[in-house]
A and B are shown apart, each in its own frame.
Chain A
């Protein structure tokens, strides 16, 4: 299955792209954590963010164990600094 990954702020800068297409093995129970693991294989420079990153699936906040499906948009968010 295929998901679209969106990266923001320093994650996007480190990966040098804000949009990554990600192919995952066609398993039934792929999660946000699986997407992250696939992402850091493609972009090892993102590894240090592992403990501080938040995630969203289809523009809803998600957890690492949240299930993902074919065609989903998975976003990874570094610590926020709005206001």
Chain B
């Protein structure tokens, strides 16, 4: 299983967790902790009842953005292994749009890396969410993607450390 993927297939958090744990266990102190995050399609957004979402990605750039996030995480938390899969196409309520798994020797790093990764995904990975709700549809606009914005990176790190 690749560590980074953009795929229309149903995501497996368990498979990705096993993959990062196996890789982390071969390095340094070995693997003592795996944390996972799954982002799900919520039924309500800004007071609207959501029917379903459609995700679109610029895949070759998204994979490079995942690799950048992994490199940043390794710089801040040495030895951590990170996996990220984002789904594309139509997703129903309750389905996972993203799964992230982080493995490390100790729990604090694993929690921090997982949180850091989802914050950075929302800042720099070229994926777009098209929301179909009762009575209409709209593209969701999030962050202006700037992978060299040091302030955004610091903000993601501050959130990651607050959660650890």
List chain A positions with a Cβ less than 8 A from chain B. Answer: 6, 8-10, 13, 52, 54, 56, 59-61, 75, 77-83
The chain B residue sitting closest to A6, CB to CB, is: B58
Complex interface: stretch among B19-27, B108-116, B140-148, B156-164? B140-148
Complex interface: stretch among B8-16, B28-36, B75-83, B119-127? B119-127
* Known contacts A8-B56, A61-B61; A78 and B139 CB within 8 A of each other: yes
Assess the A8–B126 pair: CB atoms within 8 A. Answer: yes
List chain B positions with a Cβ less than 8 A from chain A. Answer: 39, 55-58, 60-62, 64-65, 86, 97-98, 118, 121-130, 139-148
Assess the A78–B61 pair: CB atoms within 8 A. Answer: no
Q: How far is the CB of A36 from chain B (nearest CB, A)?
A: 15
Q: How far is the CB of A66 from chain B (nearest CB, A)?
A: 12
Q: How far is the CB of B119 from chain A (nearest CB, A)?
A: 9
Assess the A9–B139 pair: CB atoms within 8 A. Answer: yes
Assess the B142–A80 pair: CB atoms within 8 A. Answer: yes
Q: How far is the CB of B67 from chain A (nearest CB, A)?
A: 12
Assess the B60–A81 pair: CB atoms within 8 A. Answer: no
Assess the B145–A61 pair: CB atoms within 8 A. Answer: yes
